[in-house]
Structure 1
Amino acid sequence: MPDWVYAVILGIIEGLTEFIPVSSTGMMLLAKQALGLPNGFWDTFAVMIQLGAILAVVVLYFGKLWKQVVGLPTDPEARKFALTVIVAFLPSVVLGLIFHDFIKAVLFDNPTVQCISLIIGGIVLLFIDRLAPKPVAHDPFKLPILKALAIGLFQVLAMMPGVSRSGATIVGGMLFGVEKRAAAEFTFFLAIPTMLGAFVLDAWESRDQLTADTMPLIAIGFVVAFLVAIVVIRTMLAVVTSRGLAPFGWLRIAIGGVGLALLNFA
């Protein structure tokens, strides 16, 4: 198949999985291996098109986010919201810079780790969906600073492929009394600086791979991921609100189980 077809396929997978608790990174890496794509550029591609999915959050929540931005000089609530996002973002910045090279070089090429992480994460989602404490925080724009920090610490777990960033942060929020829809929405907001940072870091470190031949492929994946994520965000919120995290837990277990079976019997 031509490379642009691979770019479309991976863009669809990124848009489908970035915001649901199944690990977009794990899915992208498993898909890359299933398609027989080599390491190097396609690893960079998988990171960089995440920004397309993140742009979907900006578009869907533009009115609310813009209100926070313009309110920064005069509105204490807007400044507090900005602080909660920064506090939640910082743990990933520090540990991401320290472990970025190790994670990309070692864990990204270990499909067994990814599949096991999917299964374990699915089991965790099933338990948390039933055992999480009663929520006391219902507005993602008004979370206490310590709850935001707790969510940020849980996000660090997502540096391992197969551990969903959205799943980890939603679980962290629910464990600390954040209502599941509010936790999901705060996860979306936290994804903006997190994925932008990952994009910039990977673009700089892989700048030699960004050529006239590869940039159109990244653009295709970016646009496809953006369009698919627009639909997925709305759908995910509806599912989380009505059915909780259990559907995503079973989905993770199924994908991880199939992946392990294929790895052992291929």
Structure 2
Amino acid sequence: MLDFLFLLKAAFLGIVEGVTEFLPISSTAHLLIVGDWIGFDAGQDKVYEIVIQLGSILAVMWIYRQKISDVCVGTIKRNRSDLFFVRNLLLAFLPAAIIGLLLIKYIKQLLDGQFMVYAITLVVGGLIMLWVESRPEMAKHTHLTDDDLSHKTQRIEDISVKQALVVGFAQCLAMIPGTSRSGSTIIAGMLAGIHRKTATEFSFFLAMPTMIAATVLSLYKYGSYLSESNLLAVVIGFVMAFLSALLVVKALLSFVAKYSYKPFGWYRIIFGLIVGIWAYNLV
């Protein structure tokens, strides 16, 4: 017999994943915390989380399908611009791939699932975001003059080796629960001199190899937990994550072309304080 309330919760969490995955507010924190608040239990939550995250990344790949196709063809033809694009992604991907394989297991053992850790990292991340966006030079990221354009990296293909590595090492911070992969890479890119919208797009492209690799590894480890009892919930969550991510990615690119990330910084602080109070009362 179908449990419609259970499937409704699965759909809701799928939307939460799709909405938060590419916003700088930590999708993992939202999935864990909101899932606990609504009493969602997929039997093996890790599998559910893995599969719906794949739905989000496939949404971004669909949005940028033409760009991905063009880069693949251009790389084969050894087009200079496309080769630089691929180089930048590889350079940014490697730090998290190497450090993640070495340390992620130990970091998760120490910090994963501790709600107070999420509360602290949400607040600290929000404060950092507000500080970065309050710097005088960051105001130019929103309203650029022709003179400013020469001082900001406007295209992913023009990102330097140093900038790509800065973003790559910043992505390693996402191994700390509640930090946000997108938040750390976007803010690091902006600090490195990449224009806000370009840094955001680069973060999206960097998510593709990073999250696909993480998904394959996680499915290898936890795939056996996928069963008939939770399959429908997983499928519903996947579809909702895919559809909601389609809407959010387009909206975010339009937003950052005109505005700063300050609203997300304030959101992180408020949500982090709420989680902190809740976690403290649990003790």
Short-chain TM bin:
over 0.9
- Change over 3 Å in CA distance of 1:229–1:122 after alignment to 2: same
- Change over 3 Å in CA distance of 1:39–1:49 after alignment to 2: closer
Tell me how far 1:34 sits from its aligned partner: 1.4
Instruction: For residue 243 of structure 1, give the secondary structure of its aligned residue in structure 2.
Output: coil
Residues of 1 paired with 2:274 and 2:19: CA distance?
19
1:116-195 correspondence runs (5 A): 116-131=120-135, 136-195=152-211
1:8 to 3, 8, 11: 11
1:227 to 233, 240, 243: 243
Tell me how far 1:263 sits from its aligned partner: 2.1
1:87-143 CA-to-partner distances (Å, cap 9, x unmatched) read 101111112212232344442210100011000000111111122566520112331
> Pairwise CA RMSD of aligned residues?
1.8
Task: State the match for 2:83 in structure 1.
Answer: 79
1:126-178 CA-to-partner distances (Å, cap 9, x unmatched) read 11112256652011233112211110100110111110111100111011100
Unaligned runs of 5+ in 1: none
Task: State the match for 2:99 in structure 1.
Answer: 95
1:65-103 CA-to-partner distances (Å, cap 9, x unmatched) read 211111112212111111111110111111221223234
Tell me how far 1:40 sits from its aligned partner: 6.7
1:21 to 21, 24, 49: 24
Q: Indicate the larger mover: 56-65 or 126-135.
A: 126-135
Task: State the match for 1:251 in structure 2.
Answer: 267
Checking the alignment, whether the CA contact within 8 Å between 2:126 and 2:265 is kept in structure 1 is: yes
Residues of 2 paired with 1:101 and 1:207: CA distance?
18
Count of residues paired in the alignment: 266
- Find out whether 1:208 has 2:224 as its counterpart: yes
Q: Indicate the larger mover: 71-80 or 101-110.
A: 101-110
Unaligned runs of 5+ in 2: 141-150
Q: What letter corresponds to residue 101 of structure 1 in structure 2?
A: K
Instruction: For residue 229 of structure 2, give the secondary structure of its aligned residue in structure 1.
Output: coil
Residues of 2 paired with 1:109 and 1:183: CA distance?
30
Residues of 1 paired with 2:162 and 2:156: CA distance?
13
- Find out whether 1:51 has 2:67 as its counterpart: no
Residues of 2 paired with 1:104 and 1:205: CA distance?
15
Percent identity between the two aligned chains: 36
Q: What letter corresponds to residue 67 of structure 1 in structure 2?
A: D
Task: State the match for 2:116 in structure 1.
Answer: 112
Tell me how far 1:39 sits from its aligned partner: 8.8
Residues of 1 paired with 2:7 and 2:233: CA distance?
6
Q: What letter corresponds to residue 91 of structure 1 in structure 2?
A: P
Checking the alignment, whether the CA contact within 8 Å between 1:10 and 1:46 is kept in structure 2 is: no
Task: State the match for 1:60 in structure 2.
Answer: 63
Tell me how far 1:217 sits from its aligned partner: 2.2
1:171-214 CA-to-partner distances (Å, cap 9, x unmatched) read 11011100000000000000000110111011000022022333
Task: State the match for 1:70 in structure 2.
Answer: 73
Residues of 2 paired with 1:199 and 1:175: CA distance?
29
Checking the alignment, whether the CA contact within 8 Å between 2:186 and 2:203 is kept in structure 1 is: yes
- Change over 3 Å in CA distance of 1:71–1:130 after alignment to 2: same
Checking the alignment, whether the CA contact within 8 Å between 1:29 and 1:108 is kept in structure 2 is: no
Q: What letter corresponds to residue 115 of structure 1 in structure 2?
A: A
Q: Indicate the larger mover: 38-47 or 168-177.
A: 38-47
Q: Indicate the larger mover: 225-234 or 89-98.
A: 89-98
Q: What letter corresponds to residue 82 of structure 2 in structure 1?
A: A
